[in-house]
Each structure stands twice: as C-alpha cells, then as structure tokens.
Amino acid sequence: MARTTTASAGQGPAPRASDVLETWNGEPVDARAVPVHEPARFKEIVLAAHRGGGRLAALFGREDGEGGVLVTAVLADDPEGRLALLATRAADAFPSIAAELPAAQAFERELAEQWGLRPEGHPWLKPLRFEPPRREAPDPFGRADPRATLPGEYPFFRVEGEEVHEVAVGPVHAGIIEPGHFRFQCHGERVFHLEIVLGYQHRGVERLLRGGPDRRSMALAESIAGDTAVGHGLAYAKAIESLSGMAPTARAMSLRGIGLELERVANHVGDLGALAGDVGFLPTASYCGALRAEYLNAVAEICGNRFGRSLVCPGGVKHDLDAEAARALAARVRAAWEKTRRAASLMFESPSVRARFEGTGTVPTALAQELGMVGPAARASGVDRDVRRDHAFGIYRFSHVAVTTAENGDVLARALMRLLESERSVEFVLDQLERLPGGPSRAAPGPLAPGALVVSMVEGWRGEIAHVAVTDAQGRLGAYKVKDPSFHNWFGLAMALRDGQISDFPLCNKSFNLSYAGHDL
C-alpha cells in the first residue's frame, strides 16, 4: 500500500511493497503468495498501515497444515480502492494489536475462541460468540470446558459504588427480535457502561460452507443475515465467480444492483418506521411499516421472495425481467418512494421527534474511525466510507451512487442517513430499470482455481460485508471467512450509550439496527 510506507518513522523498519500482497475487491490471488511475517513484524506492518489511513477489513485464522494457525489480515486502502494481504503463523499466542488498534479487538477475541491463540496484551480478552474451538489447544480464557460454556457465563465489567446498579436485559427480548444480552452499569438513569454479549445465534455458518461449493452453500450465504440475503448472497456469488475466473454479464450485474438497492431501501424505510415507533410518533411508524412492504414486494416481483432469496446465484441471477415487467416495477417503486418521502418528512418535520433524536447516542468521528465502524452508522458520524465507491464492484463500476455523510453521529444523523441513502438508491434502481443491458442474465461458473484466495466485498445496507474464500488443492472451499458489518458496529452501539440515559437504549439500538445472526454466524 503506497500510503503505508510514509508514516512509520521510529517504529522499526518501514513497510516495503513486498511486505504485503496487493489485490482488490474480487481479484483472486495465489494463497501461497501472501507474505508470512514474524508475529512482531506482522503487528508493525498492520499498525503502520493503520497510521497511514489503512483500515483492518478482516483478520482471520485458518489451519496452516502443520498444526499451527495462519493468521491473515486484510487491510483496506479506501481512497485508493486497494486491498493488501499479509499473514503470520502462530502456535499458541501472538502479540495483540487491539490496544493500539481497537478495531482489531473483536477479531482477536475470535482468533482466541476459534483457534486457541492468545492475543498477548489484549485489553478486553473475553469470548466473542461462545462457539466450540476449532482445534485442540489450551483455552485462552481459562475455562474448564469451552464447549459447555453458555453466552454470558463470564466476568462482566462492573462498576461499584453507592447507588450504582446493574441492569440485565436478554437474551430473550420484549419484541420480535434476535437474542442478545445487554448489561448496563448505571448510576440512576445514567449509563456508565454497556456490555453487549452475543453468540446466542451461532449456527456454524463458516464451518458449513467449508468443503463447498455445494447445493446448500447459496442458501447458507443467504441465511447469514436474513434481512441481508442479497448482500451476503452477492458477496458469496462474487467470491465463487472470482475463483472460477468468470465475470457475470452486464445484465446480471444490473439486476443484482437493483436487488441490493431495493434491499437497502426496504430495510432503511423499515428502520425509519421503527425509529418513529420508538418515540411514539405513530403516523410515520404505521406508514413506513407498511411502505417497507412495497419494496419487499418489489423484490418479490423479481425473484418470488420478499427478502431477495433466490435472486442471486453464482454466475448471475436466477430470475430475469422482461421490458414490460421492468417498466411496471419502476412505476411501482416510483409511487412507493413518493409516499415514503412524505411519510418520512412528517417525522423529520416534527420538532418533538427532532428534539428526541438530536444529541442522543452520539458517536464522534474519531471514535467511529477508531472502532473501524462501517456503513450508514459510520457515515452518520462523518466517516466517508462506502464499498460501492471505494472498492467498486459489479454495476457500481459503471453507475455511481453518491455517498452521503453527516457530522453529528447521533440518532438524528443515523435516521437522516436512512432517508438520504434510500433516496439515492431509488434513483439508482429507476435508472437501472430504464436501461437494463441486453443479453443473458446467467452463465455457469466453472471449477474453482485451487490454492487461491479472494476477498469479496459488498456494501450491504448495514455497511461493508467482506467474505474471504480460500480454496484447497482440489479447488474446494478450504476456509471461508464471513464478516458482517455488524461485527464492527456493535461496539459502536455500546459506546453510543456511554453517559447517556438508559431510556435512550431502545432508540439507539434501533438507530443502529445491527444483526445478531450476522455477528454470531
């Protein structure tokens, strides 16, 4: 990475171009060509890249074939649209990066949990999702039986003192939502600290994807987070296509873009309704709840499923649209957006709603950067980051979607992101429907290249989805890493609550609307 070489004075030898393997979104590389460093040097290079503006997009382990673990880092250079890969080998421990680079904290906890690698000096070493270890090794958390540990069975961070109290919520919540446990340390109404325990949703997705691709793989990818079926499905399909050396047709790329943007709009509009509901502004809550269905049904007009399942497949899309259907769909989306815009503005024009949203759950820009936040939650905090522009893929290489940011990083900013991004997505969808490229919409991908690695990134509605696929010598998926945007952003939610009121929590939670299943895999 060009930007990394300048900013490492006094921190050991400066990274050289040969320290990393450069690639970009969807470009496969020879897995053996990824430079392997000593752990200390690995840390230096990652930190130097971070100081130079680079970002840790993924950090994951896989078997090195000799009883140890190969830890691979994916560094993103967003302004340049490049990715850099580097690796280190570890047997039982490695020097933690998280103290200097908080964005690494969850990745390192994952490495400890999955592979029994102890990150030396990690400031917050706790299990991440309470999954059984993937190899025989002493438990880095000192548990007697990691397989028998339930989520939440660990020492919570506790505040003690007069009138300090603890509030525990979950895993089963009041509404129809996924399970997670929230532990608040409060002084009166004021939240000193919120600790979020996840893992209840762990289904073993990565393990089930290993050994593929097979007839189940696509259904699994679409189930990583059911509200992001197109996003994760597309990341998977893109990875398979890259590894088999094929590119989807222009028509397939366009239809995928339509699906991805409709998914974004459906979720964003649903979130606007949920935010309105949380502050008791019922008109927008009712209308947006129902209008969300317009976009879900628009997706179903293409593929028969309201959540975009069975839309994408490796090689293209499973369903095409004729000219007549495309016109009808455009008319439908246009009409729905006209209503949505009005329903949402009722809320944004209401002084009482704005007063409740403004200044609640603030995540300052520097903090969002530090935590490596992504998606609308990051953009609401002024972090200008979007895979569709920075690491453009598919149709986004030809048709651009303008990226919107806000400054305040509060609930109002996150709500506004939903509205503004939806508007741009609708414009994009209408534009694509008007000029769908001709030709076929599906081709068959060939066999996968053996010993190859690819990073496949997609801007889902919550932010950056990154899948890393590594094939074995037979061209099967030997390792498959999934990173949902929520993986970065859950800590952002915890920090948004600091010094806030405990009654702000439902509102803050809705304004992030993160995925439990996507985090827990």
Torsion of CA 273, 231, 416, 282, to 10 degrees: 0
Among 83, 194, 196, 302, binds another protein (CB under 8 A): 302
Instruction: Output the six-digit token pair for 409.
Output: 């990083």
Cβ(466)–Cβ(232) under 8 Å?
A: no
With binding defined as CB under 8 A, does residue 199 bind another protein? yes
Question: How many Cβ atoms from other residues are within 10 Å of residue 247's Cβ?
Answer: 14
Mask: binding to another protein, 130-149, rule CB under 8 A, as x and -?
Answer: xxx-----------------
**Sheet arrangement for strand 181-187:** 164-169, 181-187, 190-197
Taking CB under 8 A as the criterion, the residue among 128, 413, 517, 519 binding another protein is: 517
The pair phi, psi for residue 348, each rounded to 5°, is: -70, -20
- Is there binding between residue 307 and another protein (CB under 8 A)? yes
- Nearer to another protein by Cβ, of 132 and 364: the residue is 132
The answer to whether 327 and 431 are in contact (CB under 8 A) is no
| Cβ proximity of 395 and 255 under 8 Å | no
Distance in angstroms (rounded) separating the CA atoms of residues 257 and 8 = 39
Residue 330 engages another protein in binding (rule: CB under 8 A): no
Tell me the β-bridge partners of 37: 88
Which segments within 375-512 are labelled E, that is strand? Answer: 452-460, 463-471, 477-483
Does 200 contact another protein by CB under 8 A? yes
Q: State yes or no: residue 227 binds another protein (CB under 8 A).
A: yes
Closest among 239, 205, 238 to 317, alpha carbons compared: 238
Q: Which of the stretches 5-13, 203-211, 406-414, 503-511 binds another protein when contact is defined by CB under 8 A? A: 203-211
301 binds another protein (CB under 8 A): yes
Among 108-116, 174-182, 253-261, 402-410, the segment contacting another protein (CB under 8 A): 174-182
What are the φ and ψ backbone dihedral angles of 480, each rounded to 5 degrees?
-140, 115
Counting contacts by CB under 8 A, is residue 346 touching another protein? yes
Q: How far is CA 53 from CA 2, 6, 82, in A?
A: 11, 11, 12
Binds another protein by CB under 8 A, chosen from 68, 81, 121, 179 = 179
Q: Which is nearer to another protein, 42 or 182 (CB)?
A: 182
Regarding 324 and contact with another protein (CB under 8 A), the answer is no
Query: Cβ closer to another protein: 164 or 346?
Result: 346
309 makes contact with another protein (CB under 8 A): yes
DSSP state at residue 155: P
Residues 101 to 130 in contact with another protein, rule: CB under 8 A? 130
Residue from 201, 340, 425, 471 touching another protein (CB under 8 A): that is 201
If one asks whether residue 178 binds another protein (CB under 8 A), the answer comes out as yes
Q: Is 169 in the site for another protein (CB under 8 A)?
A: no
Tell me: does residue 172 bind another protein (CB under 8 A). Answer: yes
C-beta separation of 284 from 276 below 8 A? yes
Helix (H, G, I), strand (E, B) or coil at 32: helix
Name the residues that contact another protein, by CB under 8 A: 130-132, 150-151, 171-172, 174-179, 199-204, 207-208, 215-216, 218-220, 223-227, 229, 270, 283, 286-287, 289-290, 292-293, 297, 300-307, 309-310, 318-319, 339, 342-343, 346, 349, 515-517, 520
